[in-house]
Amino acid sequence: MKSGEDHQTVSLLTQNIFRLLLDAISRPGRIYEINPAAVGEWDCPVPGVFGNGDSFLLPVLMTLLDKEVSFYVTGNKGTVQEMAEITGAHASVVRDADFVLVPHEAKSKVILEAKRGALQYPDEGATIIFCVERVCEGIENRPCIRLKGPSIADMQRLSITGIDPETFAHLMLINGAFPLGVDSFFVDMEGRVAAIPRSTTIEEVKEWAT
């Protein structure tokens, strides 16, 4: 059992991360950075969830997952048990999962099967968390996606590396019938986070560097 003070520290850290996720989903495609010092204070049982380089993923998972929700991890089966233990969430098949995790470089085709919610309850659509190498602001004429829609003033460019290049085509398909769809977060190796909610239209995928 954690002491009261530790418990309170965790409480403040997850609050911090949540606000960042809230900013990210309120402003799709914009980059927000997790403070590394915040993660340093984390009493982290494993250094990375899927291996080295994703030490920022765990704080995100701790912020969102608990015993009330289910998750699915694409590919990497070895980590399922560990994740269930750390977060308290239970593993499920992809069709039923509240959260779908796509590790670094993993194929993302499986997200096509993720829950998109019902018309009466579209909020039941899954949240997808992608671990990627790097997210950064897109620059014109470089490989990037253009995002449009509510929450975006005009247009937002976003560049992501270390992700299955098919991902965006999948997301366009999944989110083609608003309000049904999935909401995605992209967490990179240095703690940068960006989001693409289902309300966002991915307008253009410029030849993606793999």
Partner 1 sequence: MTLKEILRKTFDNGYNFAFLDEGAKREIRRKILKAVAIPGYQTPFGSRELPIARGWGTGGLQITLSIIGTGDTLKVIDQGCDGSVNAVNIKKFIGRVTGVKTTTDTNKASIIQTRHRVPEEIMTEDQILILQVPYPEALRTVEPEETETRRMHAEADYSRMWLYLYEDIVRFGEISIGARYPVAVNGRYIMDPSPIPRWDIPKLDRADTLYLFGAGREKRIYAVPPHTEVKPLEFEDYLFRVEDFGDARCRRCGSCDTFLDEIIDDETGKRFYQCSDTDYCDRRTVDGTGS
- For residues 186 and 133, is the Cβ–Cβ distance under 8 A? no
Residue of the chain from 2, 12, 81, 155 that contacts partner 1 (CB under 8 A): 12
Residue 68 or 207: which CB sits closer to partner 1? 68
Compute the half-sphere exposure of residue 30: CA atoms within 13 Å on the CB side of its CA.
Answer: 15
Q: Any contact of residue 197 with partner 1 (CB under 8 A)? A: yes
CB of 183 to partner 1, least distance (A): 4
CB of 143 to partner 1, least distance (A): 25
- In whole angstroms, give the CA distance from residue 126 to residue 183: 7
What one-letter code names the amino acid at 143? P
CB of 196 to partner 1, least distance (A): 9
Burial class (CB in 10 A: 0-12, 13-18, 19+), 133: middle
Structure tokens at 178: 């608003």
Contacts with partner 1 by CB under 8 A lie at: 4-5, 7-12, 14-16, 18-19, 21-22, 25-27, 63-66, 68-69, 118-123, 125, 127, 150-153, 178-179, 183, 197-199
